[in-house]
Amino acid sequence: MFIYTVRPGNSVYYISQLFGVDRQAIIDGNQIENPNVLVVGQAIAVPADSVSHTVVQGETLHMLAMRYQVSAAAILRANPQITDPSLIRTGEVITIPSQIENLGEKAVNGYAFPSINESTLEKTLPNLTYCTVFSYQVKADGSLTQIDDERVVNAARQKNTAPMMSVTNIRPSGGFSSEIAHSVLTDETAWNNLLDSAINIMKTKKYYGLNIDFEYILQSDREAYNSFLKTASGRLHDAGFILSTSIAPKTAASQRGLLYEAHDYPVHGRYADFVVIMTYEWGYTYGPAMAVAPINLVEQVIRYAVSVIPNQKIFMGIPNYGYDWTLPFVKGTAAKPLTNPGAVSLAARVGARIYFDAAAQSPYFNYYDVSGRRHEVWFEDARSINAKLRLADRYGLAGVSYWTVNSYFAQNWLVLNSTFTVKKVLNR
């Protein structure tokens, strides 16, 4: 597969001819809203394994590398018959190699709300190892709210994807509750109520395992949470289920803050079958404009995580969304969430040019609205996804986890399936 960055004057037709790929495959694979309008700087995922290029008079290796956006070194590796890089002959057929090579098998988790669109669910499930349905909400006594999850669970199993039940300490009115977590974690009766209910639901609805996503836990409840995880691990394994946990993106054991302090990485690594590190939300709804998951900051988290958790238990979080901020940033104001294809469509409508930040390995653009206010948009594209997947491979992680898969992002799945073979753990 190739990732091509749109240049001035490019069209879908030009790209399809350049790589020898059907025009509609490019439109569908990149969810291009208006095929007549491409955005300069837009990343296009091109589903081609390689290109056979016949050299015309005057062409050089450098020119081919520029045209196909592949390094000259990669072209030389794919063409050992070229003995003199400064001399390629007219009429010679040269193989332009794919930019993305398969790096082997990885597991993939995707969080899905029960409301996920049927078509999106159908197209997404083959790309997942686990589908975690979000979420059952625990009450102070350990009892669980009920959700309409059977459609997603049954669909997952039909696609050989393991459904995971999710339990959170989210209050009925929304938002994670330190108080609910405290009530549950400091009362063994509540522990057992939660685990009894979860195990019963998993048996009845044919879940594969349980994901515990407790956030904003009081620092004073850290050891109680650790003890709960030990008990949960034993009970779930005895019942034939696996346990995963969601943990905040820490860079050190001593990291301060309500989001971080009670998440004890070594303990989660000991008792959970895998952990999902929520490596996103640096750029967030009520914060200043920046990349949602800048690769340089994500790597700092992963570097710490693998020092205290077995790397084959770690799933690196990947955001499936972006934000549109109004500038200048004013504390208390909210950015508007966008889907990744929606961000590109917005850039096309407002006539923006998309740029790619080298440090964050993330795309962004600016525009002015009808009121003359400047905006900044950060999102994910094939280039940023490629960078994240390669980071997961470099650290030997078990896999990656998407928050969330409710919005279909075709470009992502093209890159993922070119980079990894998706592991399947479920036999129907």
CATH number at residue 89: 3.10.350.10
Last residue in a domain, options 65, 97, 129: 97
Q: Render pLDDT for 126-145 as a digit per residue (tens, 0 to 9).
A: 999 999 999 999 999 999 99
Q: Render pLDDT for 79-100 as a digit per residue (tens, 0 to 9).
A: 999 999 888 999 999 999 998 9
pLDDT at residue 364 in the model? 98
Indicate whether 50 belongs to any domain: yes
Q: Render pLDDT for 289-308 as a digit per residue (tens, 0 to 9).
A: 999 999 999 999 999 999 99
pLDDT at residue 395 in the model? 98
Question: Does pLDDT of 284 surpass 90?
Answer: yes
424, 160 contact by CB (below 8 A): yes
Which of 360, 390, 356, 382 is closest to 295 using CA atoms? 360
Q: What is the mean pLDDT of residues 47-63?
A: 94
- List the CATH number of the domain containing 304: 3.20.20.80
How far apart CA 151 and CA 424 sit, in angstroms, is: 20
Q: Are residues 35 and 166 in the same domain?
A: no
Q: Are residues 41 and 173 in the same domain?
A: no
Last residue in a domain, options 97, 120, 138: 97
User: Number of structural domains, the chain?
Assistant: 2
* Other C-beta atoms lying within 10 Å of the C-beta of residue 298: 25
pLDDT band at 354 (very low <50, low <70, confident <90, very high): very high
3-state SS of 293-347? CCHHHHHHHHHHHHHHCCHHHEEEEEECCEEEEECCCCCCCCCEEECHHHHHHHH
Q: Render pLDDT for 2-18 as a digit per residue (tens, 0 to 9).
A: 999 999 999 999 999 99
Indicate whether 407 belongs to any domain: yes
Q: Are residues 265 and 386 in the same domain?
A: yes
Give the distance from CA 200 to its chain's centroid.
Answer: 31
Indicate whether 213 belongs to any domain: yes
Q: Are residues 60 and 206 in the same domain?
A: no
Indicate whether 362 belongs to any domain: no
pLDDT band at 428 (very low <50, low <70, confident <90, very high): low
pLDDT at residue 101 in the model? 86
Candidate list 122, 150, 188, 215, residue with the active-site label:
215
3-state SS of 135-174? EEEECCCCCECCCCCHHHHHHHHHCCCEEEEEEECECCCC
Q: Render pLDDT for 163-176 as a digit per residue (tens, 0 to 9).
A: 999 999 999 999 99
* Other C-beta atoms lying within 10 Å of the C-beta of residue 406: 21
pLDDT at residue 427 in the model? 75
Last residue in a domain, options 97, 126, 146: 97
Q: Are residues 178 and 294 in the same domain?
A: yes
For the chain, what is the mean pLDDT? 97
Rg (CA), the chain: 23
Indicate whether 125 belongs to any domain: yes
pLDDT band at 398 (very low <50, low <70, confident <90, very high): very high
Question: Does pLDDT of 363 surpass 70?
Answer: yes
Q: Are residues 117 and 239 in the same domain?
A: yes
170, 147 contact by CB (below 8 A): no
Q: Which domain holds residue 12?
A: 2-97
Q: At 354, which amino acid appears?
A: I
pLDDT at residue 99 in the model? 87
- The DSSP element (H or E) to which 54 belongs, if any, is strand 50-54
* Side-chain-side CA neighbours of residue 221 (13 Å): 22
Catalytic site includes residue 215: yes
Q: Render pLDDT for 238-282 as a digit per residue (tens, 0 to 9).
A: 999 999 999 999 999 999 999 999 999 999 999 999 999 999 999
Q: Are residues 111 and 76 in the same domain?
A: no
